[in-house]
Amino acid sequence: MIHWLSVAAGGALGAMARYGMNGLLFPFFGERFPLGTLVVNVAGSLLMGVFYVLIIERGLISPEWRNFAMVGFLGAFTTFSAFSLESLALWQNGHLLTALGYILLSVILSLAALATAVYLTRIF
Protein backbone atom coordinates (compact mmCIF):
# COMPACT_ATOMS: atom_id res chain seq x y z
CA MET A 1 0.00 0.00 0.00
CA ILE A 2 2.87 2.38 0.77
CA HIS A 3 4.07 2.08 -2.85
CA TRP A 4 0.70 3.23 -4.16
CA LEU A 5 0.63 6.18 -1.77
CA SER A 6 4.18 7.08 -2.72
CA VAL A 7 3.31 7.16 -6.43
CA ALA A 8 0.14 9.16 -5.70
CA ALA A 9 1.98 11.76 -3.60
CA GLY A 10 4.75 12.11 -6.18
CA GLY A 11 2.20 12.32 -8.96
CA ALA A 12 0.26 15.09 -7.24
CA LEU A 13 3.43 17.14 -6.74
CA GLY A 14 4.61 16.46 -10.30
CA ALA A 15 1.29 17.55 -11.78
CA MET A 16 1.33 20.74 -9.71
CA ALA A 17 4.92 21.45 -10.78
CA ARG A 18 4.00 20.96 -14.44
CA TYR A 19 0.98 23.24 -14.09
CA GLY A 20 3.12 25.88 -12.42
CA MET A 21 5.85 25.69 -15.05
CA ASN A 22 3.38 26.10 -17.89
CA GLY A 23 1.73 28.98 -16.05
CA LEU A 24 5.08 30.75 -15.68
CA LEU A 25 6.02 30.46 -19.35
CA PHE A 26 2.62 30.81 -21.04
CA PRO A 27 2.35 34.61 -20.64
CA PHE A 28 5.59 35.03 -22.56
CA PHE A 29 4.98 32.66 -25.45
CA GLY A 30 1.24 31.98 -25.47
CA GLU A 31 0.14 29.57 -28.15
CA ARG A 32 2.88 30.49 -30.64
CA PHE A 33 5.20 27.79 -29.34
CA PRO A 34 4.56 25.30 -26.52
CA LEU A 35 7.73 26.25 -24.61
CA GLY A 36 6.34 25.20 -21.23
CA THR A 37 5.86 21.63 -22.39
CA LEU A 38 9.28 21.57 -24.03
CA VAL A 39 10.99 22.85 -20.86
CA VAL A 40 9.08 20.38 -18.69
CA ASN A 41 9.99 17.42 -20.92
CA VAL A 42 13.69 18.36 -21.05
CA ALA A 43 13.86 19.08 -17.30
CA GLY A 44 11.99 15.85 -16.56
CA SER A 45 14.43 13.88 -18.71
CA LEU A 46 17.34 15.52 -16.93
CA LEU A 47 15.92 14.65 -13.51
CA MET A 48 15.11 11.10 -14.65
CA GLY A 49 18.80 10.63 -15.52
CA VAL A 50 19.92 11.89 -12.11
CA PHE A 51 17.42 9.74 -10.21
CA TYR A 52 18.26 6.70 -12.33
CA VAL A 53 21.93 6.87 -11.35
CA LEU A 54 21.34 7.80 -7.70
CA ILE A 55 18.59 5.26 -7.04
CA ILE A 56 19.09 2.38 -9.48
CA GLU A 57 22.84 2.35 -10.16
CA ARG A 58 24.38 3.74 -6.98
CA GLY A 59 21.74 2.97 -4.40
CA LEU A 60 22.43 6.32 -2.70
CA ILE A 61 18.72 6.95 -2.32
CA SER A 62 16.53 4.14 -1.01
CA PRO A 63 14.56 2.17 -3.61
CA GLU A 64 11.33 3.34 -1.98
CA TRP A 65 12.02 6.81 -3.41
CA ARG A 66 11.94 5.37 -6.94
CA ASN A 67 8.15 5.12 -6.87
CA PHE A 68 7.77 8.64 -5.50
CA ALA A 69 10.38 10.38 -7.68
CA MET A 70 10.59 8.44 -10.93
CA VAL A 71 7.14 6.92 -11.31
CA GLY A 72 4.99 9.47 -9.47
CA PHE A 73 6.64 12.90 -9.67
CA LEU A 74 8.38 12.61 -13.04
CA GLY A 75 5.57 10.53 -14.53
CA ALA A 76 3.14 13.35 -13.81
CA PHE A 77 5.62 16.17 -14.41
CA THR A 78 6.66 15.21 -17.92
CA THR A 79 4.00 15.82 -20.48
CA PHE A 80 4.41 13.56 -23.44
CA SER A 81 0.69 13.36 -24.04
CA ALA A 82 0.48 17.16 -24.02
CA PHE A 83 3.49 17.24 -26.36
CA SER A 84 1.70 14.93 -28.77
CA LEU A 85 -1.49 16.98 -28.71
CA GLU A 86 0.36 20.28 -29.20
CA SER A 87 2.38 18.81 -32.08
CA LEU A 88 -0.77 17.64 -33.80
CA ALA A 89 -2.50 21.00 -33.23
CA LEU A 90 0.44 22.90 -34.75
CA TRP A 91 0.42 20.53 -37.73
CA GLN A 92 -3.34 20.71 -38.27
CA ASN A 93 -3.30 24.51 -38.02
CA GLY A 94 -0.90 24.70 -40.94
CA HIS A 95 2.30 25.23 -38.96
CA LEU A 96 4.13 22.23 -40.38
CA LEU A 97 7.68 23.56 -39.92
CA THR A 98 6.97 24.71 -36.37
CA ALA A 99 5.47 21.30 -35.55
CA LEU A 100 8.48 19.46 -36.98
CA GLY A 101 10.88 21.78 -35.18
CA TYR A 102 9.03 21.26 -31.92
CA ILE A 103 9.05 17.47 -32.34
CA LEU A 104 12.76 17.37 -33.19
CA LEU A 105 13.73 19.76 -30.39
CA SER A 106 11.66 17.85 -27.83
CA VAL A 107 13.08 14.44 -28.68
CA ILE A 108 16.70 15.50 -29.20
CA LEU A 109 16.92 17.83 -26.19
CA SER A 110 15.13 15.39 -23.86
CA LEU A 111 17.41 12.50 -24.85
CA ALA A 112 20.47 14.73 -24.56
CA ALA A 113 19.36 15.97 -21.13
CA LEU A 114 18.86 12.43 -19.85
CA ALA A 115 22.19 11.20 -21.26
CA THR A 116 24.02 14.23 -19.87
CA ALA A 117 22.46 13.78 -16.46
CA VAL A 118 23.39 10.09 -16.36
CA TYR A 119 26.97 10.91 -17.39
CA LEU A 120 27.44 13.81 -14.96
CA THR A 121 25.76 12.02 -12.06
CA ARG A 122 28.00 9.00 -12.62
CA ILE A 123 31.19 11.07 -12.39
CA PHE A 124 30.16 13.06 -9.30
* Residue 111 confidence class, pLDDT cut points 50, 70, 90: very high
What does the alpha-carbon distance between residue 12 and residue 67 come to, in Å, rounded to a whole number? Answer: 13
Helix, strand, coil distribution of the chain in percent, nearest 5: 85, 0, 15
Q: pTM (2 decimals)? A: 0.79
What's the rounded mean pLDDT across residues 86-97? 95
Q: What is the pLDDT of residue 6?
A: 94
- Give the start-to-end residue ranges of the domains of the chain: 2-123
Task: Quote the pLDDT of residue 26.
Answer: 67
Q: Note the pLDDT tens digit of each residue in 40-71.
A: 999 999 999 999 999 999 999 988 889 999 99
Residue of 123, 124, 119 whose CA lies nearest to 49: 119
- Please compute the mean of the pLDDT values over residues 82-110 and round it to a whole number: 94
